[in-house]
Amino acid sequence: MTETMAPLRKTALNAVHRAAKSKMVDFGGWDMPVDCCGLIAEHMAVRTAVGVFDVSHMGDIQLRGPGSLAAVQHLCMNDASKLAVGQAHYSAMLYPNGTFVDDVVVHKLSDNDYLIVINAGTREKDVQWVRRTIGHMPGVHVNDFSDYYTQLAIQGPRAAETLQKLTPTDLSTIKNYWFTWGQVCGLYNVMIARTGYTGEDGFEIYIPSDEPTSARVWGEVLEAGAEFGILACGLGARNTLRLEAGMALYGHEISDTINVFEAGLGRYAKLDKPEFVGRAALLEVQAAGGPGRKLVGLEMIERGIGRDGYTVFSIDGKRLGEITSGSPSPFLKKNVAMAYVPGEYTALDTEVAVEIRGQMVKAKVVPLPFYKRAKKSA
């Protein structure tokens, strides 16, 4: 008997992507564009001008009520008590053993109201985890608003100029990882966040998820950015951009088998908080002298591309680990990768070998991130 496959879920912009002849793929059960205008062209548009991404497959969980801060504090490893209204921060939900349920961005909407943006590929699992972990806590209501919004990411050095044409809100007043509400494309009370997953300046906007509104705003963003060379971008460019920026992807650099210290994300785990899920396990790792392996950046020295899942060896042939993400870097014109290796192989310029189609190809340990955008001069 043939097993029936569940149909792929679609964002409100699915018909727009298909009409534009974008290359579509199954991404975590979603029918998503991986390539709209060519990966390299899209990547370079974001690094040098502006690109727009449909990221409506991301999830949105709202915690509301007088117990919402206590719930966020128990659920996530960063310290939400330090957030001001209108501020966001990077965080993660952990299992009791200190490994990742998912990495998230927490937004403080008001003193009793928080929005947690979660990853698309882990959406259902995350929602179930949140309900199971904090659903019993007093004074907090958990709502999954994931399907209520179309989320667009406008990214790149010309992102602010592009979006400014579409809103009376002064975008220069929104600092990195802050947000506000304003009018965008004639829509009121749109959340405008200075966040992103590309290593560039940019904004994410949350608009109603009906198809006509989503298609209209998508088109107006492309029209506003036309003078800057804006391109519609797919998940392929999003992946190479975040790799250059050294950003983690669930199932690659972070997972339920990788702990916070191994992933190099300990700075976001506020162990001085009284309690959160996974804290005790992280304290044990710390007390034992830290993790035995760590995430490093690799740059290929010899000709070859280290791809996801390729094995990393020491120069004398000892198996060290695997590449978690690897690709040519369109902007840096180098072949780069991230991998987990034992602590004694993490020093900068340490040479290792990557097995590529049966051949050992040399690489060296380099700092993360591979790319860091230049700060604007005052």
DSSP 8-state class, residue 352: E
Strand locations in 302-350 (E): 311-314, 319-329, 334-342
Under 8 Å between Cβ of 313 and 319: yes
211 is in an annotated binding site: no
d(CA 203, CA 192): 7
- Return the closest-CA partner of residue 192 out of 213, 165, 217, 167: 167
Q: Determine whether 29 is exposed, middle or buried from the number of CB atoms within 10 Å of its CB (0-12, 13-18, 19+).
A: middle
| Residue 252, CA atoms < 13 Å, CB-side half-sphere | 20
Tell me the pairing of strands 202-208 and 187-193: antiparallel
Under 8 Å between Cβ of 34 and 188: no
Under 8 Å between Cβ of 106 and 89: yes
CB within 8 A of 19, min separation 6: which ones?
Answer: none
d(CA 102, CA 76): 10
Residue ranges at the known binding site for substrate: 204
Residue ranges at the known binding site: 204
